Structure 1
Amino acid sequence: MATGEEAPLLVEENGSQPQPLNHGRDVHILCWAFLLIFLAYGAVQNLESTINTEGDLGTISLGILYVSFAIFSVFASLVVRKMGSKNALVLGTTGYWLFTAANLKPSWYTMVPTSLYLGFAASIIWVGEGTYLTSAAHSHASDYNLHEGKVIGEFNGVFWGMFACHQLVGNLVTLAVLRDEKGGSTSGTTLLLILFLCSMTLGIILMCFLSKRNLKEERLHDSPITFSSSVGTLLKSILNLLLDVRILLVIPLMAYSGLQQAFVWAEYTKEIVKPALGERGVGGAMAVYGVFDAISSLAAGRLTSGLSSITIIVSGGAIIHLIVLVWLLLNYSVSGGILATLLPLLIGALWGIGDGVLNTQLSALLGLLFKHDLEGAFAQLKLWQSVTIAVVFFITTSVTLQTMVLIMLVALCISVAGFLFLTLNVEKAFSYRSS
């Protein structure tokens, strides 16, 4: 375990003095709870378009989910402020449980309402996660006199590295339980969903053991604030945040981070993996993606120490995605032999590295730049991510892979240009002004 300047997650207790909150314990609880919940939900999402095919129920449900996610993200910061980040995290888990349970009896009457509710639950759980983790990092750095940027980077690296493992574990469970039957049908779906519900239940229970983060949350939760004044405060907060040139310059990168995730779920599995490896190969390819995503998240988190390191790491991840996109646009085609197996897996590995970089560095960036409005900043992140994910789910049936790749290329170039302008020019001016 790292010590001193390396911002350890765990600090040895000293019986002679009262100890502050064990922030490392809370981070590990948060990691395990998210892993247990999302190894189940991630696998269900990957299967949604194949197990609920009648009337495109699965795909449409996911589209509704992310539209709801986008709408509720506008109000998520208010809910998290009122409830406190821990309570928001616990409430948010219920949406994932209900959505998975609805798949036991899939119909328009079960899937649509649970998709709408999951959009609300997802908005508050992710704003709560970003707020909780960053608050823990700030407190840990303050309590033990450690470098704030390095602690934020390490905490995000551990969380996102652990979170990325859900793709590996969930898809391996899916491969072990599901069986292909004659005529193209699949057996074992009910057993798989029950196992996933058990995993989610354990995650929900674990989430209840988190510590409340700080007194500020409790004051907000206990204070008698009217609904109208809360909405007014929310609108003022959103307006003030959107008048900040820094958030405007990072919004394209937020949008791209959602776009590249949806690309994996909607295009990579359907257009790249399935033609080469078949439907059973989707689970294996997503497991490879998850492994490299986890390794990338851990490494990027450990290397993060401030704005300069974030700039370098994000630029490296963007270059990796750029190489993959140009390759897909110009030269990629499904070939025979061993290359037919290796190339889709290589693309998944490279894409996972870029995703790990974006997850850790965006969270660290917001934690450093917007520490006085964490809920609002993370609400903006989830708003723009969910908007682009919803758009991809709705247009994926009407655009070709080449068109989608071209859209991704343009979005990547715009987002990186805005990000570099922010980190190399604008933030320097803000830092000089505040010093």
Structure 2
Amino acid sequence: MADDGYNNITFVMSERETEETPQSNGTPVVNLSTEKYVPVSKGRLIKNLIVICFGFLFLFTTFQALANLQSTLNSEEGVGVASQSVIYGALILSSMFLPSFLIKKFGCKRTIVLAILCYVPFITANFYPHWGTLIPGGFILGLGAAPLWSAKCTYLNEIGIKYAEIVHTAEDTIIVRFFGIFFMFFQSSQVWGNLISYYVLRPENETSFQVNSQDFNSLLCGSNFCNQIESELFKQPEDWKVYMLIGIYLASALCGAILTGLFLDPLERESVYFEKKLTGVRLLLATLKHLKNPRQLLLIPLTVYSGLEQAFFLSDYTKAYIACSWGIHRIGFVLICFGVVNAVFSLLSGPLVKIFTRLPIFITGTLANLGVTITLLYWQPNPDQTVVLLVLAGVWGLGDAIWQTQINALYGVLFKSDEEATFSNYRLWESIGFSMAFAYSTYLCIDIKIYILLGFLATGMLGYLIIDIRMMCYYKGTFSIDR
């Protein structure tokens, strides 16, 4: 999501003093021009950073782990992956119309709390997963997702600016540090959510779920998987275990809303800035106009790939490789490896770019995903080679960390003067990648999906290399970067 920069926003502390001036009807009103604010301390800013980090940790411990299970836990008629496609379709609409409006009306804090609550219907729908519950729940979640991330970006940006003023450090340095801390917490949610699902869903006698490697040759897993259900390993956990899991996840999401609602300090006067923000049709037109920029066109395949690769891992890797060869209950166990590597490299990506520049980091991400993808195409999952599932998940986490941090940063570097249309395009094309992958998930075999991934990765990196070469020529004075 866009890490937009917002200025001139002031913290309001509960201890603030105000002068009241009477209206003609005797009703006192606050005179903002004489408002006295308690100075913001470093400790208070750090407290707000910790609160928002833990609020998102509680929420996405639930959502990300639940998303990982949709293709297997709710596999009947493909309703699980269909709900994921609806989520990202709704997110596209929401990105155009809701974030600025809600933040202007309610402020960042209330927007974050309300948006977290938008996740609750989808989580609750998993108690009774059908088209009439998961699809509406997914749509509501998608509507809340864009305001949630926009408000989060605004809030972190502002506390970073305030902290930089206090410690007399460059704003960019502090903001990057705060976002790095946030994404470390955010990515670690994969660990906790998947750990919960593993321990709740695992059977009492795991040996009964083992498949003999000789018998396994008859099962069509891996790249040959075409949504057939032929293994005992696809056997659904007992209902009471599923209900317990969803109950834990629901409680975790509600804890996130309560934590931010009670302990996050509000920001005042966001509306002063957001009056200038584009919304609705104006933002849509600006987004479409931005497509005239050749650099934006070159970035589209890589941005779509960012959505495709995440959706493939959540929907297809979990089902065709982990569940098919090792059991549904072990999906969470394997994805812990993905979450740990993703969290570590999300934190390290910023410093690594400063040391090595962006091009080697992008090439590393490409080689990581390319190596895993080709392995998935030719390697046949086997119950005796489960360590390979862990290694592949970890390497995929490395690549995903690079795409999530560096593509976003690249947009900010290339299009500094047109933030709104820029990050609207980023959200649009990444969400299209998600929606595409989830939409065709139940209709295509794994090998076809892998070829689609390889095609978008190759095209996307070609576009990025063209941009990088043009930038180098620009800085050497050869030609204009906008040509």
Using the size of structure 2 for normalisation, the TM-score is: 0.74
Contact kept? 1:77, 1:376, Cα under 8 Å = no
Distance in 2 (alpha carbons) for counterparts of 1:25 and 1:431: 45
User: Residue 207 of structure 1 is aligned with which of 241, 248, 260?
Assistant: 260
CA-atom RMSD in angstroms? 3.3
Contact kept? 1:150, 1:305, Cα under 8 Å = no
* Residue 309 in structure 1 maps to residue 331 in structure 2: no
Corresponding residue of 2:248: 195
- Which is worse superposed, 395-404 or 78-87? 78-87
Corresponding residue of 1:392: 437
Corresponding residue of 2:283: 234
Q: 1:138 to 1:145 in 2, by over 3 A?
A: same
Corresponding residue of 1:8: none
Please list the CA deviations of residues 91-132 of structure 1 after superposition, one character each: whole Å capped at 9, or x if unmatched.
221221121112223333322221111111112223333444
Distance in 1 (alpha carbons) for counterparts of 2:343 and 2:460: 23
- The one-letter code matched in structure 2 to 1:59 is V
Q: 1:292 to 1:111 in 2, by over 3 A?
A: same
Distance in 2 (alpha carbons) for counterparts of 1:244 and 1:378: 14
* Residue 363 in structure 1 maps to residue 414 in structure 2: no
Corresponding residue of 1:425: 470
SS in structure 2 opposite 1:398?
Answer: coil
User: Residue 129 of structure 2 is aligned with which of 88, 106, 120?
Assistant: 106
1:188-337 pair list within 5 angstroms? 188-208=241-261, 209-212=263-266, 215=269, 217-220=270-273, 230-305=279-354, 309-329=357-377, 331-335=378-382, 337=384
* Residue 347 in structure 1 maps to residue 392 in structure 2: yes
* Residue 63 in structure 1 maps to residue 85 in structure 2: yes
Contact kept? 1:37, 1:93, Cα under 8 Å = yes
Q: 1:311 to 1:207 in 2, by over 3 A?
A: farther
Report the Cα offset of residue 178 of structure 1: 2.6
Q: 1:276 to 1:236 in 2, by over 3 A?
A: closer
Corresponding residue of 1:9: none
Q: 1:333 to 1:292 in 2, by over 3 A?
A: same
- The one-letter code matched in structure 2 to 1:320 is A
* Residue 117 in structure 1 maps to residue 140 in structure 2: yes
- The one-letter code matched in structure 1 to 2:381 is V
SS in structure 2 opposite 1:399?
Answer: coil
SS in structure 1 opposite 2:133?
Answer: helix
Distance in 2 (alpha carbons) for counterparts of 1:136 and 1:349: 33
Corresponding residue of 1:13: none
- Which is worse superposed, 342-351 or 266-275? 266-275
Report the Cα offset of residue 410 of structure 1: 1.6
Corresponding residue of 1:82: 104
Unaligned runs of 5+ in 1: 1-16
Report the Cα offset of residue 367 of structure 1: 4.1
Corresponding residue of 1:11: none
Q: 1:99 to 1:91 in 2, by over 3 A?
A: same
Q: 1:296 to 1:405 in 2, by over 3 A?
A: same
Q: 1:276 to 1:105 in 2, by over 3 A?
A: closer
* Residue 49 in structure 1 maps to residue 51 in structure 2: no
Alignment length (residue pairs): 409
User: Residue 117 of structure 2 is aligned with which of 90, 94, 107?
Assistant: 94
* Residue 186 in structure 1 maps to residue 233 in structure 2: no
- The one-letter code matched in structure 1 to 2:390 is L
- Which is worse superposed, 18-27 or 277-286? 18-27
Q: 1:111 to 1:159 in 2, by over 3 A?
A: same
Structure with greater proportional helix content? 1
Using the size of structure 1 for normalisation, the TM-score is: 0.82
Distance in 2 (alpha carbons) for counterparts of 1:297 and 1:393: 25
Unaligned runs of 5+ in 2: 1-37, 209-231
Runs of 4+ in 1 over 6 A off after TM superposition: 430-434
Contact kept? 2:299, 2:463, Cα under 8 Å = yes
Report the Cα offset of residue 287 of structure 1: 1.1
Q: 1:48 to 1:267 in 2, by over 3 A?
A: closer
Report the Cα offset of residue 239 of structure 1: 4.2
Contact kept? 1:161, 1:356, Cα under 8 Å = no
Q: 1:99 to 1:105 in 2, by over 3 A?
A: same
Contact kept? 1:258, 1:386, Cα under 8 Å = yes
Report the Cα offset of residue 428 of structure 1: 7.2
Please list the CA deviations of residues 266-290 of structure 1 after superposition, one character each: whole Å capped at 9, or x if unmatched.
2211222223322222111111111
- Which is worse superposed, 296-305 or 94-103? 296-305
- The one-letter code matched in structure 2 to 1:195 is I
Distance in 1 (alpha carbons) for counterparts of 2:163 and 2:300: 28
Report the Cα offset of residue 264 of structure 1: 0.6
SS in structure 2 opposite 1:280?
Answer: helix
